[in-house]
Amino acid sequence: MIKQLLLTIALLTSPTFAAPIVTYTTSGVFSSSGSALATFGSGTLTFVPGGGMVDLDLLNPSNGNLGTIVATGFSPTSMSAISGSLTLNILQTTPFAGSGAFVGTLSGSLLSNASSGMLLFSATSITLPGNVTYTISQPPAGFLVVPPTTNNGMTTLQGTISMPVSPATVPEPATFGLIGTALGVLGVMRRRASSPPRA
């Protein structure tokens, strides 16, 4: 009985917080095509989905792969202008289902071996159910859309995934009252158990 009472006291006085495992996927849609693939002059930009699973109990915030833009087919001599926008969709499945989107503006031009192409997101942070925040790790001027000869034409969109950590909970006064009563009962029980029987 004493062990059960001590266990109850321990549970009442030691609040814990465990950040959840977050599972998500991404998709991208170019405004010029309405799909994940857009043609600009002689070349194409293709959005390759990102996503994954992060354990915010181990690392909060955690790095997240938000997707990759792949540039192919651009001419070595004739610049191709890129324009319109890219909508980056986040679909979260755990800890709670939810979705959100970032919208980035495309500008500049690409050759097969040079680029002035940029992708600039106006908002870089959204919060989905479960208070999970997705933040794009965007340079101040936006992402440089690399040409096909640089990094195999891959522009990776990285971000962070985080959630606020709840501060340690302070037990209520009633809890302290229960603890005091329980300790008093334990003291009386121990005294009775150690006292010699009355004659």
pLDDT in tens, 128-175: 999 999 999 999 999 999 999 999 999 999 999 999 976 544 555 666
Cβ–Cβ under 8 Å, residues 95 and 182: no
Indicate if the pLDDT at residue 6 is higher than 60: no
69-97 average pLDDT score = 97
Using CA of residue 53, residue 56, residue 58, residue 63, what is the dihedral sign? positive
Residue entry with tokens 């006064």 = 173
Q: What is the pLDDT of residue 168?
A: 47
Single pTM value for the model: 0.75
71-87 average pLDDT score = 97
**Bridge partners (DSSP) listed for residue 134:** 126, 161
Average pLDDT over all residues of the chain: 87
Using CA of residue 72, residue 76, residue 80, residue 85, what is the dihedral sign? positive
Of the two residues 195 and 47, the one the predictor is more confident about is: 47
pLDDT in tens, 94-117: 999 999 999 999 999 999 999 999
pLDDT in tens, 132-142: 999 999 999 99
Q: What is the pLDDT of residue 20?
A: 87
Q: What is the pLDDT of residue 198?
A: 65
Distance CA 160, CA 56 (A): 11
Q: What is the pLDDT of residue 139?
A: 96
Q: Which residues of 166-192 are buried (b: 16+ CB within 10 A; e: fewer)?
A: eeeeeeeeeeeebeeebeeeeeeeeee
Residue 39 tokens read as 């043609």
In Å, the largest CA–CA distance within the chain is 111
Distance CA 167, CA 92 (A): 25
Task: Please provide residue 15's backbone torsions phi and psi, each rounded to the nearest 5 degrees.
Answer: -70, 145
